[in-house]
Structure 1
Amino acid sequence: MISHVFLGVDDFERAFRFHAAVMAALGNVPRFRDDARPWAGWQPVGGGRPLFLIGRPFDGGPAGCGNGQMVALLAPSRAAVDAAYAAALAHGGSCEGPPGLRPEYHANYYGAYFRDPDGNKLCVCHHDAPADQ
């Protein structure tokens, strides 16, 4: 259903460091980086889509984030949720909800919420029960 997600950023280098750390914690790999535009993208380890992209807005204006908009990234494990959240906060992100179960969504929903340095809200989540259950 989703081909790609693009987040506008004002400070590309800062944003790249932030998102590269979060993507690495989730096991996603770089697909490209083009400093001339500037923009960059990541993909799942096996390639293909969806892509996660960051860059300066195409129209050259300042980046902005919307009220109520959020991008949720799938994590391969609860430990990856924890690692991505820690990476986000270590690279200038702000907490919007620490890692934990959210049983109001479903019994095994484990997620964390944060904003990147440009104010974009992100979620990292894992939907499966722990392997030892």
Structure 2
Amino acid sequence: MIDHTGIHVQDLALSQAFYKAALAPLGYGVRLSLPDAVGFGAVPPAPGDDPGGDFWLTRATPMAPRSHIAFRAHSRAQVDAFHRAALQAGGTDNGPPGLRPHYHAHYYAAFVHDPDGYNIEAVFHGA
């Protein structure tokens, strides 16, 4: 199991605002802000969670090639809300909400590129 991970972003304030808006429908928020990094995680955190969060943005040269990150949603409605919020926050559509049966019968996801070009996904695996 992964405890935490992160990406490098060019403009920390811009990326923080993007992820704050895009991840809010999934129950994620800022858990810790540092001068050159910000940690996001479930709000409220579960017992035993890292108080700083499990997804980090660090001000640095963005990674190349850009990675793909999928965030778990708990419903199709959350996937839809993530996609709307991410686009309103400046993301670029990389695949609208919908079924992706080539992965499995109930794979429902949406994809956006963040301000640095990372491919961000919200996915729900339920029926």
Same fold (TM over 0.5): yes
Whole-angstrom CA distance in 2 between matches of 1:14 and 1:30: 14
Residue of structure 1 in register with 2:63 after alignment: 64
1:71 deviates by 0.6
> Structure 2: any 5+ residue segments left out of the alignment?
none
Deviations 1:5-50 (A, max 9, x none): 211111111101100011211112321112x2x2111112333167
The worse-fitting range, judged by mean Cα deviation, of 46-55 and 97-106 is 46-55
Q: Which consecutive unaligned segments of at least 5 residues does structure 1 have? A: none
SS at match of 1:107: coil
Q: Is the 8 A contact 1:111 1:124 kept in 2?
A: yes
Identical counterparts, % of pairs? 39
What is the aligned-residue RMSD (CA, Å)? 1.5
Distance 2:68 2:22 in 1: 15
Query: TM-score, structure 2 length as denominator?
Result: 0.88
CA distance in 2, matches of 1:64, 1:43: 21
Amino acid at match of 2:79: V
The TM-score normalised by the length of structure 1 is 0.84
Alignment of 1:55 onto 2:58: yes
After TM superposition, list the pairs within 5 Å mapping 1:4-19 onto structure 2. Answer: 4-19=4-19
Q: Secondary structure at the match of 2:32?
A: strand
Query: Runs (4+) of structure 1 moved beyond 4 Å?
Result: none
| Contact 1:88 1:114 survives alignment (8 Å) | yes
Q: Between Structure 1 and Structure 2, how many residues are aligned?
A: 122
Q: Which residue of 2 aligns with 1:29?
A: 29
* Aligned-partner SS, 1:83: helix
Alignment of 1:1-133 (within 5 A): 1-34=1-34, 36=35, 38-45=36-43, 46-47=45-46, 48=49, 51-57=54-60, 62-66=61-65, 69-129=67-127
Write the deviation string for residues 43-94 of structure 1: whole angstroms up to 9, x where unpaired: 123331670111212xxxx223415x31110011111101111111111111
